[in-house]
Amino acid sequence: MYCKGIDFFFYPYNVRKLNSIFVLMNRLETGLFSGSFNPIHMGHLMLANYISAFTSLQEIWFVVTPHSPLKKRESLLSDAVRLEMVRLALEDYPTMRVSDVEFYMPRPSYTIDTLNLLSELHPERKFSLIIGGDNWLLFDRWKDYKLILERYPLIVYPRPGENVQIPESLSQTVKVVNAPQLEISSTFIRNSIQEGKNVRAFLPPKVYEYILQNQLYR
């Protein structure tokens, strides 16, 4: 087929090629926020809400990790329980989704493998990586960290007391967000529950009820 005014023959191959180019140009910007979420708390939601509202990211995916190579795993609840808590927490947030992709990957899972797999499974999306300032300081210890920097944008959120510095050479691909800083940690919540403290305000309501009903962290 020949289109008047365009010197281009649309053979099936060329149509497929144009479709691929269109997909690449219109990919949905998606941030990956990985963690054990043991448990997920209001600080996580506030951060994701800020990033989806004040950056170019259109969706935030909470990737629940079965085991981080840099963390001990004794205190981890089961994968299914932590996944359910994140699912409950995100029910009322249309720009946030939960992913269990790493549950089906070799363990320990590594971020570069997750990014590559999701990019292959979802070519209609452009993935960015969301990490804390503490992880940025350790980033050169991550598997294939240079490859991550070459292929994927990074969004770094400083934690309280951190002064995150990004080298000028990476300023186009690594961005620091000035998100509100809250001193809430999953460790604090776990310890507080174990001590019998009321931490209702620190947790999404459905997650708080789920923890109570299942007597978690006791």
Both tokens assigned to 118: 């999701």
Whether 79 maps to a domain, the answer reads yes
The answer to whether the CB of 20 falls within 8 A of the CB of 48 is no
The total of structural domains in the chain comes to: 1
Q: What are the pLDDT digits (tens) for 14-27?
A: 545 445 554 556 89
> In a 10 Å sphere around its CB, with 0-12 CB exposed, 13-18 middle and 19+ buried, how is residue 43 labelled?
buried
Whether 53 maps to a domain, the answer reads yes
Residue 65 scores a pLDDT above 70: yes
> In a 10 Å sphere around its CB, with 0-12 CB exposed, 13-18 middle and 19+ buried, how is residue 148 labelled?
buried
Whether 195 maps to a domain, the answer reads no
* Confidence (pTM): 0.86
Whether 191 maps to a domain, the answer reads no
- Lowest-confidence region among 3-12, 107-116, 174-183: 3-12
Whether 30 maps to a domain, the answer reads yes
Give the residue numbers spanning the domain of 77.
Answer: 13-182
What's the pLDDT score for residue 18?
44
- Lowest-confidence region among 48-62, 63-77, 126-140, 202-216: 63-77
How many Å apart are CA 59 and CA 49, to the nearest integer?
Answer: 10
Q: Name the band, by pLDDT with cuts 50, 70 and 90, for residue 8.
A: very low
- Lowest-confidence region among 53-57, 139-143, 183-187, 211-215: 183-187
* Higher pLDDT among residues 4 and 83, named by residue: 83
How many Å apart are CA 31 and CA 48, to the nearest integer?
Answer: 9
What's the pLDDT score for residue 69?
55
Whether 200 maps to a domain, the answer reads no
Mean of the per-residue pLDDT values of the chain: 89
Whether 4 maps to a domain, the answer reads no
Identity (one letter) of the amino acid at 15? V
Whether 55 maps to a domain, the answer reads yes
The answer to whether the CB of 29 falls within 8 A of the CB of 128 is yes
Q: Find the angle CA(102)-CA(103)-CA(105) to the nearest 5 degrees.
A: 60
Q: Name the band, by pLDDT with cuts 50, 70 and 90, for residue 6.
A: very low
Residue 11 scores a pLDDT above 70: no
Mean pLDDT of 148-173: 95
| CATH code: domain of residue 141 | 3.40.50.620
Residue 126 scores a pLDDT above 60: yes
Strands ordered across the beta sheet of 174-176: 96-99, 59-64, 28-35, 125-132, 154-157, 174-176
How many Å apart are CA 105 and CA 120, to the nearest integer?
Answer: 14
